[in-house]
Structure 1
Amino acid sequence: MTSAQRNPLTRKLSAFVALSDVELAVLEGLHKRRRSFVAGRDLVHQGQAAHAAYILSSGWVCSYKLQADGTRQIVDFQLPGDFLGLRSVLLRTSDHSFEPIVDIEAAEVLESDLLDAFEQTPRLATAILWAASRDEAMVVEHLVGIGRRDAETRIAHFLLELKSRLTLLGIGSKEGFDCPLTQYHLADALGLSAVHVNRILRQLRENGLVTFRDGRVAFHDYSRLVDLAEFDPTYLDQTGPLLK
């Protein structure tokens, strides 16, 4: 197995398109500038222009917007295989920031790299468009969650979404997954206070549904949690129609 076949982006895109040797080689080329970043130091900051995009190889990242009063709203969490700042590279200026939650490794991708890759392999461009559309669908679902779901349903839905995304990468299951997020991350992402998050997580644990403790999410009654959250993973489109 080549390094291109092992990288998380390949695994993610392979759910949508059966990648050819040429396409795998182009993907490998996008990973040629590999960099490491420490937790807590932004890769890209809100308002930054003329920056690169990144492909996350390992670790977790949060994307967020700062408010005038210094508070932040986490827009999403990026996992291995996700692009960081793809849209804002094409639009020239980043409208939000990206912060590593843990130490990470990522491949730096210039606008010219992307355009060359898309010109060489149109099918690969289509697969990346699918991945970007899936990311947009998640943001829409998060908006619905914050606007319409109660706190318990909101947290349950969020944990189930993370499980589905991690399952695609082979590091999540119906038993659970490792998770470096804190209750403060959940609060900033879900529009709740950290105290409220703590209360709801305790309630979910006492009801025999899920435990989130010491960097691990453990599902105790996965089916019942799905029912509680009314979780329908269709919006994630984990196994899109494979392109010939």
Structure 2
Amino acid sequence: MIRKLGTFVALSPAELRVLDGLHQRRRFFVAGRDLVHQGQSDQAAYILVSGWACSYKLLQDGQRQIVDFQIPGDFLGLRSVLLQISDHSVEPVTDIEVTEIQVKDLLGAFSKTPRLAAAVLWAASRDEAMVVEHLVGIGRRDAAERVAHFLLELEARLSLVGMGDKAGYDCPLSQYLLADALGLSAVHVNRVLRQLREAGMVTFRDGAVIFTDYDRLVEFASFEPTYLDQLGPLLP
């Protein structure tokens, strides 16, 4: 969280102490067991400490659309706390460790350190920008471009928290999870991954994404990461 917010605000020692004070109530959740339920009220927010999670909407016919994946340093359920009801569910993809934050503690931290509140607002705005980009991907990119763009976005996000680089990263996502996120079938995802591998651009197998030609994949996907806004602190 410090590394993520630090790209927007150069946090002072006092602000770091306030942020550290939020990390008091640690909880653990096992993979596949929701920690936030769609329609739930009176819940806490969480900061993901370790592991991966996904946010999703469940339709009445049982189909699922994954809205996004969360990695360490991300908030879980922040918007739901502020709106007092959850419009989506959050499920751990792996076993996870989180920090639980009550809304009164969060608002108290914002009151003490307005710049920290600005950094969290930036993080939330960045997450919204990613959802917009995913909508564009589902609506306008073909399947191969969609998968390539998504894998590149994950690299950019993971590199920010020291978990990936342009050589690749560990990734626990199954082809079924990718399918639910990208609006494709698992069979189609498998076919596209094989296509990208045979083209010599990226390999995704055994829980690892390996870029074999990062620059060509960027060109293929027309990946422009400015929407992730990772250019360094904007506030002194």
TM bracket (short chain):
over 0.9
Distance 1:164 1:61 in 2: 17
Distance 2:51 2:15 in 1: 25
Segments of structure 1 that go 5 or more residues without pairing to the other structure are 1-8
1:153 correspondence with 2:173: no
The one-letter amino acid of 2:127's match is D
Structure 1 counterpart of 2:118, from 117, 126, 130: 126
**TM-score normalised by structure 1 residue count:** 0.96
1:208 correspondence with 2:189: no
C-alpha RMSD over aligned residues: 0.7
Structure 2 counterparts to residues 74-89 of structure 1, below 5 A: 74-89=66-81
Cα drift, residue 229 of structure 1: 0.2
Cα drift, residue 242 of structure 1: 3.0
The one-letter amino acid of 1:125's match is A
Structure 2 counterpart of 1:31, from 11, 14, 23: 23
Cα drift, residue 239 of structure 1: 2.5
State the partner residue of 1:60. 52
State the partner residue of 1:195. 187
Distance 1:229 1:242 in 2: 28
Cα drift, residue 241 of structure 1: 3.9
The one-letter amino acid of 1:62's match is C
Distance 1:29 1:146 in 2: 39
Could you say what secondary structure the match of 1:177 adopts? strand
Identity %: 74
Could you say what secondary structure the match of 1:15 adopts? coil
Output one character per residue of 1:161-207: Cα deviation in whole Å (capped at 9) or x when no partner. Answer: 00000000111111100000000010000000000000000000001
Distance 2:111 2:173 in 1: 38
State the partner residue of 2:39. 47
Segments of structure 2 that go 5 or more residues without pairing to the other structure are none
Output one character per residue of 1:72-127: Cα deviation in whole Å (capped at 9) or x when no partner. Answer: 00000001000001011010100000000000000001110111000000000000
Distance 1:68 1:103 in 2: 27
State the partner residue of 1:225. 217
Could you say what secondary structure the match of 1:242 adopts? coil
State the partner residue of 2:164. 172
State the partner residue of 1:137. 129
Aligned residue-pair number: 236
1:73 correspondence with 2:65: yes
State the partner residue of 1:95. 87
**TM-score normalised by structure 2 residue count:** 0.99
CA contact (8 A) 2:44 2:81 kept: yes
What stretches of structure 1 move > 3 A for 4+ residues in a row?
none
Distance 1:145 1:44 in 2: 26
State the partner residue of 1:3. none
CA contact (8 A) 2:6 2:233 kept: no
State the partner residue of 1:105. 97
Cα drift, residue 240 of structure 1: 4.4
Could you say what secondary structure the match of 2:165 adopts? coil
1:238 correspondence with 2:220: no
Distance 1:25 1:242 in 2: 21
State the partner residue of 1:5. none
